[in-house]
Amino acid sequence: MTDTIKKHLSSTQITESPTGTREAGRTSPPLPTDSQEQPSRPNTEVLEKAVRRRFTADYKRRILSEADACTEPGGIGKLLRREGLYSSNLTNWRSQRNQGIRDGLSRSRGRKPQEKNLLADENTRLQKEIQRLHKRLMQAQTIIDVQKKLSQLLGMNDSPVYDGRP
């Protein structure tokens, strides 16, 4: 038991915290340096997010031609295992090829371009013009109302004033 206590005490370090109290904590074992040899281990790190594989159109065409050339039983399965593909990949690529979508073999990344709608641009322009004209109309009606009130105050009711309203 005393050996265990000695090991524990030798790996325990007493430090002073910022508040002034003493704390005991375990120290970590020393990190290996470059001079020390480490046994080689395979990289078993798990990526945070899986990376989706992307296949070029040339690669897809090459795999499809190799799959079409396979005549012996199990040849396509051997090809798929060698390339790390699934049979659904071949099925999708063949249907794309049969539909004649040559450029569709490799999809472009990002958002799809939206068609420019000329009527929408014209509609937006006309809406802005309507708002501008409505603002001018309201301003003109305010001026006419002020002129009416001024003429009533000055006693100029003799001449009829057209207000533009029915």
Q: What is the CA radius of gyration of the chain?
A: 41
pLDDT (0 to 100) of residue 21: 46
pLDDT (0 to 100) of residue 146: 94
Q: Cβ contacts of residue 157 below 8 Å, gap of 6+?
A: 151
Average pLDDT value for residue range 150-158: 80
pLDDT (0 to 100) of residue 109: 67
Give the whole-angstrom CA distance, residue 38 versus residue 126.
74
**DSSP secondary structure code for residue 104 in this structure:** G
**Beta partners for residue 13, in sequence order:** 25
Could you read off the pLDDT of 81-120 as tens digits, one per residue? Answer: 998 888 898 998 888 888 776 555 555 667 777 777 888 8
pTM over 0.85: no
**Beta partners for residue 22, in sequence order:** 16
43 pLDDT band, cuts 50/70/90, is: low
Whether 61 shows a pLDDT value over 50: the answer reads yes
Domain extents in the chain: 57-105, 120-157
Average confidence score pLDDT of the chain: 75
Give the whole-angstrom CA distance, residue 89 versus residue 66.
14
Whether 152 shows a pLDDT value over 50: the answer reads yes
Whether 77 shows a pLDDT value over 70: the answer reads yes
pLDDT (0 to 100) of residue 88: 92
Could you read off the pLDDT of 2-26 as tens digits, one per residue? Answer: 565 555 555 555 555 454 445 555 4
**Contact in structure between 106 and 56 (CB atoms under 8 Å):** yes
Percentage of the chain beyond pLDDT 90 is 23
Q: Cβ contacts of residue 83 below 8 Å, gap of 6+?
A: 63
Please identify which residue in the block is written with the tokens 């090991």: 7
Q: How far apart are the first and last CA of the chain?
A: 109
pLDDT (0 to 100) of residue 141: 96
Q: Cβ contacts of residue 99 below 8 Å, gap of 6+?
A: none
∠ CA 112-116-122, nearest 5°, is 150
Average pLDDT value for residue range 48-73: 86
125 pLDDT band, cuts 50/70/90, is: very high
**Contact in structure between 9 and 27 (CB atoms under 8 Å):** no
